[in-house]
Amino acid sequence: MNGKDDTTSVTGNATAQINDYERFLDLHHGTKPLVIPNAWNAKSAQLIEKNGFDALATSSGAIADSLGYEDGEKIPFTELLYMLQRIKSRTSIPMSVDLERGYTDNLDDLNEHIQKLIDIGVAGINLEDSQGEEIYLRKLNGIKNYLEKTHQKLFINARTDVFLLKLPSPLETTLRRAKLYEDAGADGLFVTAVSDTSLIKEITSSTSLPVNVVGVPQLSSIATLTECGVRRISMAVFLYRATYRQLENITKDIGTTHSLAPLF
């Protein structure tokens, strides 16, 4: 009896994950770009879903900061996984995870991380190339081979930090990496720290991968980003920061007015 129930549960989870993957993939190829807020806990994720967004992503920086860690894989993967599981368990829309550099350079450990994410229902990941092309391609190829061998699906958003790291010839380097990552099986291209519309148009017109950028103060118009050919628009850590600015303002007002009125 228990064995049958467990098998049914595992099968159901696997089917739900594949369905989320397919929905998530389709959202990158629709008639309008995917606008995807970045959550940091179950409540923020629930509010994202409640307000009509089709998918959610996580922000590594927001999750880390909310737990008292610095960004940059300073949070232990076990703690990150717990937060991801809580978010996914309280929402029904596809979820993509900011996996930074994978939280390991060991390919076997990386595949274990990938499996744990799939097991909780994650539909996609961001994987960043700040360590360089060579190690990135080893990781990307390792994940793709693992997914193929285990007959599983996961949307891999290849994040390239060429502009962020101020590498030489950033446009040319980004386009070269886009081709390498596409050939290795990436599903999307995430270009960070780019806000020049002419550069964005050059990138989107030079790759068949759906291009993801972050809305930034210099370029916050969804309509403009759409005109540039962007297929996915993220909010990164900005939603988290905006939320806590509000909290800071409220607590400051309470202190200065000696009244609880700002709460209501």
Q: Give 100-136 pLDDT, tens digit per residue.
A: 999 999 999 999 999 999 999 999 999 999 999 999 9
Q: Give 15-64 pLDDT, tens digit per residue.
A: 989 899 999 999 999 999 999 999 999 999 999 999 999 999 999 999 99
Residue 227 has pLDDT above 90, yes or no: yes
Question: What CATH class has 2-237?
Answer: alpha beta
Q: Give 170-210 pLDDT, tens digit per residue.
A: 999 999 999 999 999 999 999 999 999 999 999 999 999 99
Q: How many residues are recorded in the chain?
A: 264
Residue 4 has pLDDT above 80, yes or no: no
The reported pLDDT for the residue numbered 3 is 53
Categorize the per-residue pLDDT at 9 as very low, low, confident or very high, splitting at 50, 70 and 90.
low
Helices (H), ranges, 126-169: 133-150
In this structure, what DSSP letter does residue 215 have?
-
Residue 2 has pLDDT above 60, yes or no: no
Please state, as a whole number, how many other Cβ atoms lie within 10 Å of the Cβ of residue 153: 19
Q: Give 65-75 pLDDT, tens digit per residue.
A: 999 999 999 99
In this structure, what DSSP letter does residue 102 have?
-
Q: What are the φ and ψ backbone dihedral angles of 3, each rounded to 5 degrees?
A: -60, -45
Q: What is the DSSP string of 106-132?
A: -HHHHHHHHHHHHHTT--EEEEE-TT-
- Domain ranges across the chain: 2-237
HSE (CB half, 13 Å, CA atoms) of 23?
18
| Strand, coil or helix: 105 | coil
CA distances, 205 to each of 5, 160, 192 (Å): 50, 17, 17
The reported pLDDT for the residue numbered 12 is 78
- Taking a C-beta distance cutoff of 8 angstroms, is the pair 230, 198 a contact? no
